[in-house]
Copies of this chain bind each other. A is one copy, B any other.
Amino acid sequence: MNPTVLLPHGCHIGTDKACHFSVWAPLKKEVILHIVSPEERLIPMERSNEGYFQVTVEDCPPAARYYFNPDRAGDLPDPASHFQPEGVHGPSAVVDHTTFEWSDSGWENPGLQDLILYELHVGTFTEAGTFDAIIPRLEDLLATGINAIEIMPVAQFSGNRNWGYDGVFPYAVQDSYGGPEGLKRLVNACHRLGIAVILDVVYNHLGPEGNRLPQFGPYFTDAYKTPWGDAINFDGPWSDGVRDYFASNAIHWFHHYHIDGLRLDAIHAIFDNGAVHILQRINEAADQYAQQTEKSVHMIAESDLNAPRVIQNFKAGGYGFDAQWLDDFHHALFVALYPEGKDRYEDFGTVEQLAKAYTDGFVYSGEYTKARKRKYGASSAGIPGFKFVAFIQNHDQVGNHKNGERLSVQLPDSHLRIAAAALLLAPYIPMLFMGEEYGEERPFLYFTSHSDEQLVELVREGRKEEFGHWLGEEDPPDPQAESTFRACVLDWSKRTQGKHRHLLAWHRRLIHLRRSHVALQNFNKTGTQVDVLSEHAWALLRQDETEKSQLLALFNLSDQPLPHTLPQNT
């Protein structure tokens, strides 16, 4: 049975094996379903009260391809297509979610605080760039101690090379990655091994090529501006259908793909001035799903707001996310490790800031930042550490360097080890970026494969402009070139070689320590103390709730030895 919070967007095959088509087009007079294969048919849809057009087709086989034609605008793919086997410009395909043979009925989603997250881009994680190609590598991840992969967005985007944030079919699974069946096989395999799967979803914009949503309904509004243009219409006239579309999308992944949690991209670009913020609405839907199915799901936000409301509960006026990314921890640690990084993170650079990142969370909790030209943030002191995901690299922090440089090419081996320890001993949920665990040296560059030549040129120019003013004369690698993408594919063979092998072992040891030492299980901030020892050194003390079990980690980024006397109470 479908959970009640899953609304019938797109095409669903019921237990009756009939195809139920549904599309929201509140301002259209008619919508015609155009089935193009295996047998061409034109079927007028029926309008329901809330702006949906619906029709049930008894004899429409799975994999049938179809378009919708709203008010004779022509054949358009389904805005809630579950599969675009011929890419963003082709027909949608009927997907039968009742046939996949799941073997994960015994699976239980680990608690958020037990996760070691691993961010992964399907296209560059392996040579093949598919979901299936990931499966053989899961055992190695597991052996390293990783128990959750976080997959960068898989919603259908134009072409077959993209970070995923240009998706234009939020319900579809990228064809070149292996489509719906591929994703299911991956999740099933993960669950078999004890690995949770978090999926990155984008609810703040749609990509620049192949976005057909505006041709169906008022999905966008010019009331708010985002970096990508008009904002998604979450609070204006006709926004109910838009709200339902995105809230139901969250449930779509849980229900049809057994996804264990979502990471919502850039929630600071989601605007809603209404009485119930769409992010609350989405998190309420996730809660209801969890209640109805007795499954737990994790809701994680990427937030550039430094606002406690993101992770506060509804009663406290919050959006109710389980956790959010803690960028400030990255920035503080990164600039401490790599002082040249101050070019990019000009408001960071002291060990005191790193100390605050450990003990409070947000480093900027109301202070002025030069980058934003305003006071920024509010205090997160007292919010438990399991509400934050920390990292020392991620797709953005690596990929938004001009040459996609990872820490492994910026830092000596000693510092890579310090970075790993600083992260894995922190009172936060740690996240590694694929390859980080063995010091992958290949870059993670910005890449696209749009088919619209004008757009390609715009993206190229935008990239040059982004880096032009502060990173020298040379142009950044061409985002559209296949070689740019190819250069990013992980070199898995390194894991077993020399310094890489040692770094991998170091990660394994740290994760083991994290799991086994009781002081590291305590996410309560009162159990974390940081002493600044010098401009380049700090002491991190973790202790359990009883303060009986303690762990002291000493970090020294300088070449000079630093005498340190253990405090008396340790």
Contact = CB atoms under 8 A, between A and B. Distances in A.
Contacts of A305: 273-275
B374 A275 contact: no
Query: What is the interface of chain A mostly: helix, strand, loop, or mixed?
Result: loop
A81 interface: no
A273 B276 contact: no
Contacts of A376: 274-275
A239 B225 CA distance: 17
A271 B231 CA distance: 14
Contacts of A239: 374
Contacts of A237: 372-374
A491 B378 CA distance: 53
A491 B316 CA distance: 50
A86 interface: no
A368 interface: yes
Contact of A274 (B222, B307, B317, B373): B307
A89 B239 CA distance: 43
B236 A374 contact: yes
A394 B305 CA distance: 38
A346 to B, nearest CB: 14
Interface in A275-311: 275-276, 305-309
Contact of A317 (B317, B366, B374, B377): B317
Interface string A481-517: 0000000000000000000000000000000000000
Contact of A268 (B268, B273, B377): B273
Given A222-B225, A372-B237, A378 B276 contact: yes
A240 B374 contact: yes
Contacts of A271: 224, 273
Given A271-B273, A306-B275, A376-B275, A368 B225 contact: no
B308 A238 contact: no
A318 interface: yes
Contacts of A222: 225
A343 B271 CA distance: 31
Contacts of A223: 224-225
Contacts of A315: 316
Interface string A203-245: 0000000000000000000111100000000011111100000
A375 interface: yes
Interface of A: 222-225, 235-240, 268, 271, 273-276, 305-309, 312, 315-318, 366, 368, 372-378
19 contacts: A223-B225, A235-B374, A237-B373, A237-B374, A238-B374, A239-B374, A240-B374, A240-B375, A268-B273, A271-B273, A273-B305, A274-B307, A275-B307, A275-B308, A275-B366, A275-B376, A315-B316, A316-B317, A317-B317
